[in-house]
C-alpha cells in the first residue's frame, strides 16, 4: 500500500512538471511585464563564443525564469507565503501599515561618498555662481517607524550630515521640511518617489535656502490626475493586492514652455505628459520621464536662470520653481555626458541646484562628471 502511494505521488509530481514544461513551450513569450514594469529576457542567441564565455547560460537561465508560465501569479503567491511565514518582506520591500511599501536604505561606503563629494565641492568652487546642494530623504527615513522592528535600515540623516560637511556648497535642509510634515502623505505608498505634496515641502526648503519668497500652498489648486498609480516598489515586491496611489499636480502650465532633448536635438515638451496616465509608469506624467536635458522658459523674463543637476525626484518639484526663474535647465548626468562647465558658460547660468534623493546620490556613478 505504501509502495502504491509512493508511485502515485511520483506520477503526480511528474505530471505537474510535464504540464509546466509543455506550457512553457507553447505559451506566447512576453517582452514586457506590466506588473513588474520591466523588460523581460527573450530567448538568447546561441553561439559558441557566448557558450564558452558563460553569457549564454546566464541569459538562458534568466530567460527561463522571466518566461515561466503564470509568472505574475507565482510572484504574488510567493509574497503571500512570505507574509504567512511571519515575514513582512519580499524581494527587499517591506509591507508596512496602511499598505505602504518601503525599501530600507543601505549607506554607501565612506570612500564612495567622499569620491562623489569631491566632485560636488569642485563644482561649488569653480562654478562662479551660487551652488545649492539638496539631499532628499526617502520614506524609509521619514517613516522609519513604519518598518518592522529589526529591519535593516541605515540612517539617511547620517549620510546627509556627512555629505553636507564636505559639499562646499549652500546646503539645503530638506530633511527638516519633510520631517515637519511626516504625518501627511508626502511619499507614495507603492513607489519610491515623494508625492507632489512632498515635493512642495522640498520646494519650501529650497526657496528658504535661496532667499526666495515661497508661494503658499493655499494659492495652488490641487488637481488629482490619476487614482490608479502603481509605482516601483509595487512592481518589485510581488505585493500585487495593495491599493493604488493617486497622483496630483499643483502648478498650472500657463506661461511655461518646455523643450526636451531626448537625443540631443530639441523637441517640444510639456510639464505634464497626459498620455503617460494611461501607461504603467504614470510617474512619467511629469515631463515624460527621464531625459538628458530639459529647458523650461517662464513668463518671468527678468528673473535669473537656474541649472538643476538631478534625479527623477526633481520631476515633480521643478514646476514649483517656475515662479522664481526665467529659465530652468535640468540635466540628468546619467544621460548627459558633455562638459558641464561649458554648458554653464554657454547659457549664462546664474544659479545651480544639485538635488538628489539620498539613495540615488549614494548609488549614482556619474556624480564625478560635475567637476568637468
Taken as a whole, the chain contains a residue count of 372
Q: How much is the pLDDT for 108? A: 96
Whose grid coordinates read 522571466? 66
Selection from 174, 175, 231 nearest residue 206 by Cα: 174
Q: How much is the pLDDT for 11? A: 63
Cα–Cα distance for residue pair 192/101, rounded to 1 Å: 9
Q: How much is the pLDDT for 128? A: 95
CB-based contact 191:120 (threshold 8 Å): no
Q: How much is the pLDDT for 202? A: 98
Q: How much is the pLDDT for 32? A: 54
Strands of the sheet with 89-90, listed across from one edge: 89-90, 93-96, 100-102
Selection from 307, 305, 294, 301 nearest residue 267 by Cα: 294
Q: Cβ-count burial of 208 within 10 angstroms (0-12 exposed, 13-18 middle, 19+ buried)?
A: middle
Cα–Cα distance for residue pair 52/258, rounded to 1 Å: 49
Cα–Cα distance for residue pair 137/173, rounded to 1 Å: 10
Q: Which residues pair with 208 in a beta bridge?
A: none
Q: How much is the pLDDT for 20? A: 46
Grouped pLDDT means (10 residues each) for the chain, 372 residues: 59 56 54 54 65 61 55 56 68 92 96 97 97 98 94 97 98 98 98 98 98 97 97 90 96 96 91 94 95 96 97 97 98 92 96 97 94 91
Amino acid at each position: 500500500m505504501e509502495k502504491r502511494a509512493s508511485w502515485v505521488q511520483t506520477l503526480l509530481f511528474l505530471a505537474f512538471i510535464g504540464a509546466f514544461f509543455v506550457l512553457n513551450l507553447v505559451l506566447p513569450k512576453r517582452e514586457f511585464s506590466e506588473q513588474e514594469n520591466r523588460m523581460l529576457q527573450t530567448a538568447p542567441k546561441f553561439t559558441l563564443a557566448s557558450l564558452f564565455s558563460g553569457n549564454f547560460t546566464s541569459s538562458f537561465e534568466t530567460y527561463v525564469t522571466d518566461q515561466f508560465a503564470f509568472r505574475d501569479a507565482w510572484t504574488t503567491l510567493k509574497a503571500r507565503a512570505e507574509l504567512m511565514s511571519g515575514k513582512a518582506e519580499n524581494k527587499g520591500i517591506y509591507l508596512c501599515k496602511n499598505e505602504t511599501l518601503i525599501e530600507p536604505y543601505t549607506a554607501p561606503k565612506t570612500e564612495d561618498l567622499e569620491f562623489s563629494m569631491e566632485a560636488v565641492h569642485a563644482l561649488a568652487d569653480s562654478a562662479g555662481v551660487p551652488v545649492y546642494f539638496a539631499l532628499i530623504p526617502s520614506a524609509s527615513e521619514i517613516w522609519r517607524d513604519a518598518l518592522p522592528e529589526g529591519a535593516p535600515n541605515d540612517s539617511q540623516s547620517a549620510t546627509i550630515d556627512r555629505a553636507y560637511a564636505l559639499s562646499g556648497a549652500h546646503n539645503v535642509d530638506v530633511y527638516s521640511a519633510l520631517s515637519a510634515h511626516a504625518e501627511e502623505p508626502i511619499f507614495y505608498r507603492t513607489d519610491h518617489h515623494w508625492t507632489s505634496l512632498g515635493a512642495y515641502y522640498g520646494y519650501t526648503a529650497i526657496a528658504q535656502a535661496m532667499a526666495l519668497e515661497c508661494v503658499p500652498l493655499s494659492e495652488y489648486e490641487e488637481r488629482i490626475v490619476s487614482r490608479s498609480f502603481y509605482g516601483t516598489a509595487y512592481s518589485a515586491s510581488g505585493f500585487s493586492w495593495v491599493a493604488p496611489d493617486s497622483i496630483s499636480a499643483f502648478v498650472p502650465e500657463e506661461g511655461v514652455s518646455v523643450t526636451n532633448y531626448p537625443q540631443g536635438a530639441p523637441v517640444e515638451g510639456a510639464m505634464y505628459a497626459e498620455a503617460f496616465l494611461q501607461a504603467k509608469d504614470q510617474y512619467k506624467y511629469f515631463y515624460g520621464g527621464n531625459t538628458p536635458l530639459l529647458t523650461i522658459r517662464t513668463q518671468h523674463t527678468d528673473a535669473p536662470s537656474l541649472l538643476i543637476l538631478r534625479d527623477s525626484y526633481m520631476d515633480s518639484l521643478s514646476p514649483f520653481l517656475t515662479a522664481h526663474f526665467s529659465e530652468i535647465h535640468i540635466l540628468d548626468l546619467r544621460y548627459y555626458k558633455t562638459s558641464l562647465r561649458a554648458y554653464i558658460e554657454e547659457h549664462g547660468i546664474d544659479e545651480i541646484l544639485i538635488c538628489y534623493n539620498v539613495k540615488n546620490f549614494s548609488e549614482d556613478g556619474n556624480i564625478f562628471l560635475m567637476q568637468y
